[in-house]
Amino acid sequence: MADKEGNIDAKDFGIGIEQKHEGFFLKGCQNLDWGMKSRLARVFNPKSGHAVMLAFDHGFIMGPTSGLERIDLTINPLLDYADCIMCTRGILRTLIPPTCNKPLSLRFDAGTTILTDLNDETLMDIEDAVRVDAALLASMVAIGDPAHEGSTIRNLTRTVDLGQRYGIPTLGVTAVGKNLVRDARYLSLASRVCAENGANVVKTYFCEENFERVTNSVPVPIVIAGGKKLPEMDALTMAYRAINAGAAGVDMGRNIFQSDSPVGMLLAVRSIVHDGQTPEQAFDLYTDYKNTHKA
């Protein structure tokens, strides 16, 4: 039997050699359990410490958003170039091939649409997140929204509790209401509230001034949303400035899938996030790809 035979010659105990123990590469995550770290290490590249996440969950509040009318045609060709995909379970099950083998940031909350009053959210069942092998549970908080601040923080808290139970990290997403200013003061407050309530990663917006205050006031990795479509050079500059101010990655949607060369943009963003390229170098990459892959 294998157990008897295996014990006969056991002698390589490496006496005198200290057992190797390595830290964990993401800030604030060193004390997490194995499953949490394993999932985070699928989303964030352990070599660069960074991630390029592709967000296409917009339809859950906006319906058939421009660029997402036919996800099978516009998003599926991009999957290979993303480190992680962020979408709803409806799109995942209907259109995303399980063979794409990308870690999933699952939109774990669902709520009101642009037709009424945003941010009135509920949560899905954790068992369904486990079933689809979620690597992150994305839950939105509307800090400063008098109508929905409390309920969305309760949702985040519940998400963290459920994620802890199953070893799935939580991505706290800061939604900025219409009347709030996206400055460092607000974004650091909202992001810090997410982390204080147990979010393992925070997704927020970039701000032109003092973004390093946002990343430094939060003890966990921050990824930035891209926001509305910008000229490609501006979007690349934003990604560059965010990474250089301490962001651990981007979770971009419209600036990728609404670009005239979505693959070119993804490659360009990757070169900034993972390889430290400048916006100019990244823009050249985007342009080269666009010119050599004309439809």
Residue 228 is among the residues annotated as catalytic for this protein? no
**Are the C-beta atoms of 132 and 157 separated by less than 8 Å?**
no
Distance CA 152, CA 143 (A): 8
Which CB, 118 or 168, lies closer to ligand 5RP?
Answer: 118
Where does this chain bind ligand 5RP (CB under 6 A)? 55, 57-58, 86, 140, 173, 175, 225-227, 251-255
Q: Which amino acid is at 83?
A: D
Question: What CA dihedral angle connects 122, 126, 131 and 133, to 10 degrees?
Answer: 90
Residue 224 neighbours by CB under 8 Å, 6+ apart: 203, 204, 205, 206, 238, 239, 242, 247, 249, 250, 251, 252
Which CB, 226 or 264, lies closer to ligand 5RP?
Answer: 226
Distance CA 238, CA 250 (A): 10
Strand-strand pairing, 51-55 and 201-204: unpaired
Distance CA 83, CA 27 (A): 19
Block residue for tokens 């390595």: 22
**Are the C-beta atoms of 44 and 83 separated by less than 8 Å?**
yes
Distance CA 286, CA 169 (A): 32
CB of 290 to ligand 5RP, least distance (A): 20
Give just the sign of the alpha carbon dihedral 38, 152, 54, 127. positive
Q: Active site residue: 37, 47, 102, 203, which one?
A: 203
Catalytic residues: 203
